[in-house]
Amino acid sequence: MARLIGLFGNRSDLVARVVEHEARVLDVRGRSGKASLGGWGVGFHQGGEVLIRKRPLEQRAHLSIAELVQDVRADSVLVHVRPTEDPTRADGAENTHPFRYRNWLFAQTGSLPEFPRLRQRLLESVPDFLKSQIRGETDAEVLFTVFLSFLHDAGGLELESSVAEGAQRALRSTLALADAIGAELGQPPARINIVLGNGEVMFGVHRGRAMAYREFATKSDVAALGPDEPGSSRRPDLGNVHVVVLASDFHVAAPSDSSEFEAVDADALAGWRSIEPGSLITLRRGLAPEVSPL
């Protein structure tokens, strides 16, 4: 089971604690401790820099997301976990999400139908300076490049601090183009989820497996995170806190569940808000999440 996670807010000191608090939803576990995981990547904006950690192949029965971000102090974080059917094969760092261009980070779960036939068509109108940035073989990196091309056409690559509306249009245009080319080949719209951001804004696209978000914005929300350190009575400052965690590709336990990966108990999703398929969620610092139709 893949996992796609975005964390965005105004408190870089709370990222690891939010992830740990929501571990039952965010962590990836194999049933009976037997399943092997594939690769993972973490990207984050810190001190004006964009930093990425990648592990193309990770064989574990339980991947703790809190462990991956325990030393991260950033208020914009993107995590991607990819399973693999063949744990002996590593796809390499160039094919491991998230992908980066300047301040932008991008990760995707799900895939484009008939991608080998779509690839050239998708890249036909992309400027050479963007095509030359492609290093791997994934449909996600190509889709990211198409998004950047639409953003470039609107002047958005040079306006990264105020690009929310332009990025929304670029995302919609990217998906519309992929759907149109796919339809010509007799394929349905791609069932994918996407999370991307540039440190100033974060977006989630929900067209695949379940996606939901959890907002930490009240005193009770933050108090639930517990003390600063084990054995300490000191709790985080409750004023002016706003952190949102966005996650997708988890599945809720059901009697007929035959997945090799452990399902999320329904009660673990208390406080989470489901996002309807076909939606775009926009996260801006200090504001409530905005969910709109694609």
Going along the chain from its start, the domains and CATH numbers come out as 3-110+191-293 (3.60.20.10)
Structure tokens at 155: 């002047």
For Cα atoms 272, 278, 283, give the angle at the middle one, nearest 5 degrees: 50
Q: Round to whole Å and give the CA distance between 170 and 184.
A: 21
Q: In angstroms, rounded to a whole number, what is the distance separating the alpha carbons of residues 169 and 173?
A: 6
Q: Which of 102, 110, 129 is nearest to 43 (CA)?
A: 102
Tell if the pTM clears 0.75, that is, is over it.
yes
Q: What is the pLDDT of residue 40?
A: 93
Compute how many other C-beta atoms are within 10 angstroms of the C-beta atom of residue 246.
27
Q: Phi first, then psi: give them for residue 191, nearest 5 degrees.
A: -95, 90
CA–chain centroid gap for 183, Å, is 26
Q: Which residue reads 């796919």 in tokens?
A: 182
pLDDT in tens, the chain (294 residues): 678 999 999 988 888 889 999 999 999 887 665 556 678 999 999 988 999 999 987 777 788 999 999 999 999 999 999 876 544 444 788 999 999 999 999 999 999 999 999 999 999 999 999 999 999 999 999 999 999 999 998 877 765 545 788 899 999 999 999 999 999 999 999 999 999 999 999 999 999 999 999 999 877 777 778 765 555 555 556 567 899 999 999 877 665 555 555 678 888 888 999 999 999 999 998 899 999 999
Q: What are the phi and psi torsion angles at 107 (to 5°)?
A: -145, 155
